[in-house]
Amino acid sequence: MKDRIIVVTGATGALGGAVVEAAARAGAQVASLARRPGSGPTFETSALWVGDADLSTPEGARLAMTRVAETLGGIDALINTVGGFASAAIGHDDEAVWTALYAQNVTPVLNACRAALPHLQRSHAGRIVNIGAQSALTPGAGLGPYAASKLAVHALTQALAAEARGRPTVNAVLPTTIDTPANRTAMPDADRSRWVPLPRLAMGVLALASAEVADINGALVPFRN
């Protein structure tokens, strides 16, 4: 991981922050991308903070990736932790939830992948790692819109993997419930023993982004405690 140039989208989120910190501590140069300006990483080893990255449009994504590549000298890995969650029953008129989750979970991932692809193809070991969801495979009540958006991420991952043919490799991790402050607040009485700890998930993501893992492509990797 040392000296690899890694772009992390959604860097201000719980998982994004954990990935940024783990990658930086492993010696990577990390470009932290987020939609809104913010304070950025709290540790000193992140190489670049892009707090105005707009991944909602292709042009915004291209500008962000170009800035990273020009500043750091290229891109070796893209880790898309950007995304959101909401629940809504399919029988209710909640079109806004469907639209919002597609905009949060699919559009920025697609735009980031497209924009980073030319830079990743110039790397000797280009990698893309997306974040899917175990719950998308067998969604329960109220998870229809979230599951649909994450299934789109799964499909995007596998289609791009087939198209890129390993340059770069493209995989996704599919965690169960992640142990984050937001989830603890939302589900205070839940059994957290089966939740995925953030540091462990971050290390799993980084493993797929490493130069050494070259033979895994198009995989949807389940991740549970």
Q: What is the pLDDT of residues 129-167, one digit of tens each?
A: 999 999 999 999 989 999 999 999 999 999 999 999 999
With 0-12 / 13-18 / 19 or more C-beta atoms within 10 angstroms meaning exposed / middle / buried, residue 18 is buried
What domain range is 46 assigned to?
5-223
* Confidence at 101, pLDDT banded by 50, 70, 90: very high
pTM: 0.94
- Residue 200: predicted pLDDT: 96
What integer is the mean pLDDT of 117-125?
97
| Identity of the residue numbered 166 | G
If you average pLDDT over residues 48-61, what whole number do you get?
A: 90
Please classify residue 39 by burial: count the beta carbons closer than 10 Å to its beta carbon, then call 0-12 exposed, 13-18 middle and 19+ buried.
exposed
Distance CA 82, CA 66 (A): 19
**pLDDT attached to residue 37:** 55
Three-state secondary structure call for residue 131: strand
pLDDT tens column, 80-99: 999 998 888 887 767 899 99
Calpha distance 16→93 (Å, rounded): 32
Q: Looking at residue 44, which CATH number applies to its domain?
A: 3.40.50.720
pLDDT in tens, 22-48: 999 999 999 999 876 555 554 444 678
Domain count for the chain, please give it. Answer: 1
Mean pLDDT of the 162-185 span: 94
- Is 105 strand, coil or helix? helix
- In whole numbers, what is the pLDDT of the chain averaged over residues? 92
In the prediction, which pLDDT does 22 show?
96
